[in-house]
Every structure is written in C-alpha cells, then in structure tokens.
Structure 1
Amino acid sequence: EDILLHATLRGLTEAVRHDPFGIGISTFSQRGLADVVTLTGDCRFNVSANEASVKAGDYPLSTPMYLYLPGRRLPKMARDFLGYMRTTSAQRVIRRAGFVDQAFSEVPVSAQGERLSNAIVAAGEDVSLQELQRMVGLFEGRSRIALSFRFRGGSSRLDTPSRANVAFLAAALEAGRFDGRKLAFVGFSDGEGSGDVNLRLSKRRAKAVRDAVLAETEVFDPARVEIETAGFGEALPMACDDTEWGRGVNRRVEIWVE
C-alpha cells in the first residue's frame, strides 16, 4: 500500500504504465499513455472514466477539488473571485489547466447503452419491464446533463457537494442556459428496502431538488423552461448495492434536457 509522489505528471503516468498493479491520480488531460481504469463490481456493472462520468460523480477513482470558506462575510475581491469561478470563461481556464471543468455537457441517451444494459441486468421483482419502458420513454430524445445530486441514505437531504450543484444549476437557469427547453429532474434510489418505498422516495427526491434549485434563483421566470419531475426507484443503478459507496452513488437525481 505504498503511496509515491511524483514531481511531474509525466513521471506519474510513466510509472503507472510500467507497473501492472499501479494506480495513479492525475489531471484527466495529462494521463499520458496510461489506461484509465474501467471499474467492474461483483454485480458486473461497468463504470467507465470519461469527462461526463467524472463531472457527474459517477466514477469513484477521482478526486474533486473544493474551496472551503470561513463562516463570515468575505472581502469583495474574494466574493468576485467566487462569482468568476461559476462563469463559462473560468471553466475554460480550468479545462486548459488539465482538469475536468464544471461546464454543462450533455450526453444523449443513444450514448448510454452501458447504463441501460445495467438496468436490464439489475431488473427483478421490484423493477418491472413496464417500469423500464416508462423510464426509457422519458429519456427518448433527451440528453443527460453531467451533473448529479446525491443524498443521505433513506432521506431526501442532499449531501454537501450536491448543495453546491443546486447553486450551479440555479445560476444556469437565471442565465437563460435552458430557455425554451424541457428540463426533467429524475430521481433514483439504492436497492435497500421495498420497491414501493424506494419508488416514492425517488419521486420525493426529484421534487426536493427541483424545489431547492428554484428557491435558489432570484430573477428566473419558470415560464421560460418547461420543468417536470419523475422517479424510478432502483430502476437504473450506477453501481453495485453491496457497498456504502455503491448505494450512495445510486441515491441520486439526474437532470435530463430536451
């Protein structure tokens, strides 16, 4: 379990490339000749590493960067900097620096065959064929935004990173990013508990995120965007339910746009 620090990203990627048991963490754009690990759990679900899966928090072998703020009012320069970090130009700078930015990217349903395959594999007594058809019918012609909201177990309380995502999506709505489009907040659960309870919980989570995002806006007119909510319980797992991390990833709300 040795951890080695490398002076350069090139040195890190070269070390991983020559070590069959090595795992390295680097900026996404500078992974060099090393392969990015596709993860497979005991339930045979695959989680591939790409910009969208890292942005959405679906890929676990990634390290997010946070800004920790004091519990007091910041100087104007600091407030201006935080405001700038949410802009499109700031996201371009982050991307040029080699990191995965937070700019909105859309992944069409046609590019998500692996996830839908996982849903079919995981379907059981609590997830009927009709429920899967209802879910795919909602997704048809839409794209998933690479932004997720996740929750504490058995509740509709958002975790800390997701509360930041609320402000991020609210700012995009105010800026007109989705004007004239349809936006769906789609909730999911882990596989703990009964199917009926999980279905109700997923619907409640979708509504909770929608309400939190709209409450965060100040100058947004809801008539500019057609917004709906839906929940599908445990119908579309992202990971195996046999670990706390897997259950945490599965408890989520996704944003789908048409």
Structure 2
Amino acid sequence: MLGSLRKPLSPRHILLISLTWLSPASAFDLEIHGSNTVGATLAPMLVTGHLQQMSEREVRSRATGQENEQVLSVRANGKSVSVLVAAHGSSTGFRTLASGQAGVWASSRPVRPGEADQVRQQADLTALESEHVIAIDGLAILVHPSNRINQLSIDTIGQIFAGKIGNWSQLGGENLPINLYARDDRSGTWDTFKSLVLGKTFQLDDSARRYESNDQLSDDVSNDPGGIGFSGLASVRGSKLLAVSDGNAPALSPNQLTVASEDYPLSRRLYLYTMGERTPEHARALIEFSLGAEGQALVAESGFISQNPIAVKPRFDDSVPESFRRLTQNYERLTVNFRFAEGRTKLDNKAQRDLLRIKHFLDQHERSSSDLLLIGFADTQSNELRAQMISELRALSVRRALAQAGAANVAYTGYGHFMPIGGSGDQRNGRVEVWIKIR
C-alpha cells in the first residue's frame, strides 16, 4: 500500500489528533529539522500551504532568534497550531528525529546506512512509509556572470575544488585566480557534492570559504569574478549557471526535463523522513499534502523541480542516433524516469509513487495508457544482446507495475546500452523513460 495514497486527512481530523511522538517539552505542535536547502524556502511554503487548508485565517511567521529558524502558526477552531522549521543541515535533522524531538527530518541527501541502523528497532527509514521524496533539485555549479566558461566536466570541477586547477586561464577563461565557495560540513548539499564530485579522488582545498546558507554563497559568488561555488538550484540568484558533463555523456544544463528525469549528472532528491508507524498524524498529513498535486505545485513555485509530470519535446544534440529520433518522432517525453533500488530489480520508493502520478496525468489530460511508450536502457554490458535484453526487462517491469496502478497494456521497448547519461557503471544509465504520443 503506497503511503501517499491514503485518503487525505481532513483539517478537522488534524486538529483533533494527539501528537504522542513529539517530546513532551516541545512548545510546538510539530518540529521539522534538517537541511537548509529544504528548510530555507521549500519547507516553510509547504507548511504554510498545509496550514492554510486548516483555517481561513492568515498563516503567521515569526523568527525564533536563532538564525535559519522560523515558526509558522495559524488559529483554527479556537486553537493555535504552530510548526517550527529549523534549517541547520541534514545531519542535525537526523539527530532530532532519532531523539523524538522532530516529527519530520528534512534532508538533501538519502539516509546513511549507519543512521538507518541506529533507529531500525523503531522504524525502517528506507521503507516507503518513512522515506518521502518531495522534490528534485539540481546541484548548481555557479560562477560570476562575466565568466566566459559555459560548461565543465565533473572531473574538472573536482580538480578545481581540490586546488589542482587554480586559475581560470587554465580552462580557457580570464587570467584570474579561482576562489572557492562551498557549503559547510553539516549540509546535505555538501554531502552530495562530496559524493558526486569529489568522491574518493579529491579533497576540498583548505582555501574554500564555507557557508551554512545556499543563498549567501550564491550572492558572494555573483560578486566575485574569480569565484566558483555550488548550491541548490533554487539559489542560483545572480550567479551564472554552468552545464555539466559526466564521462562521455554530453554536457547538460539543469532544467525542467533534465533535473526532473534525473538525467542531469548533479541532480539529487530532496527528502522528508518520518518514523514509519510512529509518525505523528500531523506530520503524516503534512507529508500527504507535500506529495500531492497542490504540494508539488508549491515545489515548482519555490524554484525546485516538481514531480507532477509534464510532457516536453526534448532538444536532441548530434550525439542522438537517427534510430532514436525515428522511434520518438511522434512522441513527447514525460518529466519522469523510472529507476530501481540499488542492487535490486524492484522499483525504488520514488518510482512507486510516480506510477500513480502517471495514471493521474493520463486521467487529467483525458489520455489512455495506449498513448504511452516505455523505453528501457541498460548500463554498458559485455555485448549488445545482453544490454538489449536487460533494457527490455526493465521496461517490462515498469509496464507490469503501471498495469497494477491502473494503466494497462503500455507499449514498451529496449534501447540497450546506447545513449548513456553518465559514465560506465553509473546507476542512472539503467533507466526507463516514459514517452507520450503527440496529439
């Protein structure tokens, strides 16, 4: 049973619930702790939208006196309902969730195995009822607007932030020293950058300036002609955004399609985590709202990428084979990819919810499942026949899952290990794209 498919709780029901999992000392009805990327703008918008469903009165916001914290409250049925949003980094959110202080952990990275093990007796944080993908973000590589560099490879970015490339002239730019701007160690944005860019090959140079805030980092880069930094996509502001390439795949700029489909090599998921069956009903209702169509519309408004599918006609570059152009010439691509849990053949938690999003898209636009085409892809294999078989099996797996969600008999095919979006061995290469006929 999908956690996001239960009948939504009514505002009256929400007001009557008992929040037994919260710390008795809490002055708030719900506490959300964690990522600055999520907590700076997105989480307050989602909380505000959720509280507005409970009352016709204005939702009020006040500071706590602590930086990157705010309290959102509304008066409903004679009772004040208040929610604290504290955005001090993804790791802080896990600690407060595990202690029972927070009802929701906001994170810009997936839960770590060690963290999941710490609370496994209370809840499985990797399960569908605990792990909730609320938005897709692109890790933005930022430079000054005057910088004439337009794209970089992940390896080159790693060398820059490790201090191995120290002047823009080495990359075809101006003769200017490179100044580094990075998020702090408590940040999920830093964890993502460290994992996707630095890896085990590079270490961040000691000269890098560190920030708790995405917005402040971006503002400082936009004022430094020699600067380069990284932030969440919603914090590009006045900086220039670079396209990024991975391995032999073409460079991609983060946009609605490349980020929503997670084709962009520095795309990432933004999460809300809860404690499974121990989740307070107020937190559960907020999750339901956030994953639904109204919540996802607020995700788009906040500057992140919504998971509500839309149809897009991609712009193909010269690397796209003619056979693929013919295959998709009468189709548009939906902004969703189906991916599989690492090391498994079953769909991951996001994909489980995307099944119903596609069914809702079809119903909303009065389309049928016969309008869809699933195209499976495989990572590099020892021979083309094996790759073709794997890609078709992946597409068939999604076809069966869609049938269970109410969209039966969807057409499918495999495209082998051609058109990779990452380097060899990148899990993102093994995907299933969703296309829909042009009317």
Fold shared per TM-score above 0.5: yes
Aligned mate of 2:431, from 244, 252, 255:
252
The partner residue of 1:148 within 324, 337, 351 is 337
1:44: Cα distance to partner?
5.8
Give the alignment of 1:62-211 within 5 angstroms: 62-72=267-277, 74-108=279-313, 111-114=314-317, 117-120=318-321, 132-133=322-323, 135-151=324-340, 156-158=345-347, 160=348, 163-174=349-360, 176-177=363-364, 179-181=366-368, 182-211=371-400
For residues 90 and 205 of structure 1, the distance between their equivalents in structure 2, rounded to whole angstroms, comes to 30
8 Å CA contact 1:119–1:235 kept in 2: the answer is no
TM-score normalised to structure 2 length: 0.47
C-alpha offsets along residues 16-53 of structure 1, whole Å, 9 cap, x if unaligned? 2326452221343x412212221134526222211221
Q: 1:13 to 1:83 in 2, by over 3 A?
A: same
Q: Could you tell me how far apart the structure 2 residues matched to 1:236 and 1:139 are?
A: 14
Number of matched residues?
A: 227
Equivalent AA in structure 2 for residue 237 of structure 1: P
Is the aligned partner of 1:59 residue 2:264? yes
The 1:20–1:196 alpha-carbon spacing in structure 2 relative to 1, beyond 3 Å, is farther
1-structure distance, mates of 2:310, 2:262: 13
Per the TM alignment, residue 98 of structure 1 is displaced from its structure 2 partner at its CA by: 2.5
**Judging changes above 3 Å, is the alpha-carbon distance between structure 1 residues 7 and 80 closer, same or farther for their aligned structure 2 residues?**
closer
CA contact (8 A) 1:167 1:213 kept: no
Partner of 1:234: 417
In the TM superposition, residue 6 of structure 1 has moved relative to its aligned partner by 4.9
Cα separation, 2, equivalents of 1:174 and 1:27? 27
List alignment gaps of at least 5 residues for structure 2: 1-203
How far apart in 2 are the matches of 1:170 and 1:63? 21
Show the 5 A alignment for 1:34-53: 34-43=239-248, 45-53=250-258
Higher helix fraction (1 or 2) = 1
| CA distance in 2 between partners of 1:249 and 1:172 (Å) | 20
Aligned position for 2:231: 25
The equivalent residue for 1:126 is: none
Percent identity, please: 22
State how far apart, in whole Å, the 1-side matches of 2:245 and 2:350 are: 29
Residue deviations 1:49-75, cap 9 Å, x none?
112211111123244211223232644
Distance across 2 between alignment mates of 1:8 and 1:250: 29
Partner of 1:123: none
Equivalence for 1:128: none
**Residues 171/146 of structure 1: CA separation in 2 closer, same or farther (3 Å cut):** closer
RMSD, aligned α-carbons: 2.7
Cα pair 2:293 2:308 within 8 Å, conserved: yes
The gaps in structure 1 that reach 5 residues or longer are 121-131
Matches of 1:22 and 1:89, distance apart in 2: 35
Q: CA shift at 1:137, angstroms?
A: 2.8
Structure 2 letter corresponding to 1:253: V
CA contact (8 A) 1:185 1:255 kept: yes
